[in-house]
Amino acid sequence: MKPSFSIVGCGRVGTALAKFLSKVGYIPTGFASKSLSSAKRAAALIGSTNFTDVLWEATKKADIVFITTPDGAIEEVCKSIADKNGFNSDSIVLHCSGALTSEILLSAKTCGASIGSLHPLQSFASTTEYNINPFSGIVTSVEGDKKAVDAAKLIVEDLDSVCISIKTDTKILYHASAVVASNYLVTLLDLSLNLICQAGVPAKDAFKGLKPLIEGTLSNIENMSIPDALTGPIARGDVQTIENHLSEIGSKTPNLLPLYKTLGLHTIEIAKAKKTITDSTAKRLKELFGDSISQK
């Protein structure tokens, strides 16, 4: 028999967990949220009437408690339940934040519970529209107490997700990586789109023009190493082209120059790993990009 579970914080992630854990046989014992209406909606989605706005009433009987409130409320919510002795002593308390570690749940240990985190690398945008399992095929990271991690691994497997274990003290780097891959990709494309629009390409055509290049590069990264996927003037050691870029960006959109230079400096390191540029070309490029250390 699968364990029982309760959800505290019936928003996007809590609702998706409720729906897809129930589907694979986990037994819902309680739904709690700040608003009774959210708890009622999540419970109704799986035909349950066990909803409340009294948090510790929802958690008392559960083998696994998911605290899926916004990150800023997790610690306080956990403590408020622990203060009421609301976790059963064999239970496992998990949150789903990528940025926080399981240590934020320490108060649950006063009830004897084990603590962990289970972070799905997925974007959950809705509380209702999950006809397809959003956990299926994605990577979900877990960390925490051994007992909590063992249970979390089974949950991840049952959700048809791919599990990776993270050490508690490195989780913030894992989260920084996800931020770079998602948020900074947006920033990078903003830089690219700004430059192509400066070149006179209409904004409505700009992304369409760049998309095959982006997809081809992603495919290369997937199929080869990062150095092998790098093409272009830095990988070729084409100093003249870089000088032209710097001069043109500097005159037309100087506010974008520091970002272009910073990315260029890191790209030199990738070109060096690719072994397609000489040390003297790398040094010249570093001077152009303004690496004060290499200029000494």
Ligand X SMILES: NC(=O)c1ccc[n+]([C@@H]2O[C@H](COP(=O)([O-])OP(=O)(O)OC[C@H]3O[C@@H](n4cnc5c(N)ncnc54)[C@H](OP(=O)(O)O)[C@@H]3O)[C@@H](O)[C@H]2O)c1
Binding region for ligand X (CB under 6 A) out of 64-72, 152-160, 187-195, 269-277: 64-72
Q: Is 12 in the site for ligand X (CB under 6 A)?
A: yes
Q: Which of 5, 6, 7, 13 binds ligand X (CB under 6 A)?
A: 13
Residues 21 and 78 sit within 8 Å (Cβ to Cβ): no
Bridge partners (DSSP) listed for residue 163: 140
How big is the chain by its Cα radius of gyration, in Å? 25
Q: How many residues bind ligand X (CB under 6 A)?
A: 26
Closest CA to 74 of 122, 30, 107: 107
Of residues 17, 45, 92, 96, which one binds ligand X by CB under 6 A?
96
Single-letter amino acid code for the residue at 216: G
User: 114-120 and 139-144 as β-strands: parallel, antiparallel, unpaired?
Assistant: antiparallel
> Which of residues 28 and 98 has its CB atom nearest to ligand X in the complex?
98
Among 5, 6, 11, 257, binds ligand X (CB under 6 A): 11
Residue 178 is encoded by which pair of tokens? 């996800």
HSE-up of 280 (CA within 13 Å, CB side)? 0
CB atoms within 10 A of CB 127: 18
70 binds ligand X (CB under 6 A): yes
Distances (CA, A) of 285 to 238, 239, 260, 281, 296: 9, 7, 13, 6, 14
Q: Can you say whether residue 290 is alpha, beta or left, with left for phi > 0 and alpha for psi between -120 and 50 degrees?
A: left
Q: Which residues, numbered 120-159, are part of the site for ligand X (CB under 6 A)? A: 120, 122-124
77 lies in the site for ligand X, by CB under 6 A: yes
Nearest approach in angstroms of CB 25 to ligand X is: 23
Smaller CB distance to ligand X: residue 178 or 196?
178
Give the binding range for ligand X (CB under 6 A) out of 43-51, 93-101, 224-232, 238-246: 93-101
Q: Does 289 bind ligand X (CB under 6 A)?
A: no
Asked if 45 touches ligand X (CB under 6 A), the answer is: no
Options 27-35, 107-115, 249-257, 282-290: segment touching ligand X (CB under 6 A): 27-35
How many degrees, rounded to 5, is the angle at CA 242 between CA 238 and CA 248?
A: 150
What residue number has its CB nearest to ligand X? 11
Which parts of this chain interact with ligand X (CB under 6 A)?
8-14, 33-35, 38, 68-71, 73, 77, 95-98, 119-120, 122-124
